[in-house]
Structure 1
C-alpha cells in the first residue's frame, strides 16, 4: 500500500514539474518589433539577463520593454544602443526571474532611408569621374560586396 502511495506521489511530482516547465518556457505568441534601441542593461545576481527598452515612436506610451536570456545576443545588441533595430521575440505566459515576459530571440539593424539617400548622393558624385569609379570598384568588391550591390541599386 505504501509503495502505491509513493509511486502516485512520485508521478504527480513529475507531472507538476513538466507542467511548470512547459508554462514557463512555452511561448503564447511570437513576432517582430522595430524601433530605436534606447536602453539595454545587464541585470541579475543568480539569473543574469539583459533588459531593454525599444522606442516605437515618440513619447513615453510608445515604448516596449523586453528581456534577453541569451548572453551572446545581449552583448551584440548592447553595441547597437541608439540605432534602429528589428527584434524577433517570443511572449511567454509568465515571467519568473526576469522583468518582462517578452524574450528576444534574434535581431537585425534596420537601415534608415536617410542612409540610402546619402549613399546614393555619393554614388552620383563618384559617377562623374570614371577613373575614381574604376579605382574604387575592385576595392569595394574585395572588402564589402554588399555595399557594392547597394551602390548599384542607387541607379
Structure 2
C-alpha cells in the first residue's frame, strides 16, 4: 500500500509540475505590435514591475456601430528594454512580445511580455547611466 501511495504522489507532483510549466512558462504566442506608446510606469506593492499601454492605429469595437481605440497592455522584464521605452514615450514603436497562458507577480500584470523594441521613429537610446535602477 505504501508503494502505491508513493507512485501516486510522484505522478501527482509530475502532473502538477507540467501544468505549472504550461500555465506560467510556456510561450503561447509571439508577435509584433505597432502603435504609439501612451503609458509606461514602474509600479507594484511587493514586486516592482514595468507596465505599459500602447494605442494601436485603427479602431475596433465589440458592438457594431460604436468606435473604440485598440489598446495593447504589456509588461517588461528586461531593464534595457524598459530604459528604451521610458525614453520614447509618445512615439510610434514596434514591439516584439511573448504571450504566456498566465501571469506571475514578478513578471508583471499582463500575459504579454515585451522582449525587444524593433523599430521606432527617431528612437532615443539611453546611456548606460540612464538604465532604470531599483531603489
Q: Shared fold (TM-score greater than 0.5)? A: yes
Structure number with higher relative contact order (C-alpha < 8 Å, ≥ 6 residues apart): 2
Partners of 2:24 and 2:101 within 8 A in 1: yes
Whichever structure has more helix as a proportion of its residues is 1
Q: Which has the larger radius of gyration?
A: 1
Partner of 1:88: 96
Q: TM-score, normalised by structure 2?
A: 0.69
| Distance (Å, rounded) in 1 between the aligned partners of 2:8 and 2:109 | 36
Confirm or deny: 8 A CA contact 1:36 1:54 kept in the other structure: yes
RMSD across aligned C-alpha pairs, in angstroms?
2.2
1:26 corresponds to:
26
Whichever structure has more strand as a proportion of its residues is: 2
Question: Retained in 2: the 8 A contact 1:90–1:104?
Answer: yes
Q: CA deviation at 1:72?
A: 2.7
Runs of 4+ in 1 over 4 A off after TM superposition: none
* Unaligned 5+ runs, structure 2: 60-67, 123-135
Q: Relative to 1, partners in 2 of residues 1:95 and 1:81: Cα closer, same or farther, differing over 3 Å?
A: same
In structure 1, the residue matched to 2:82 is 74
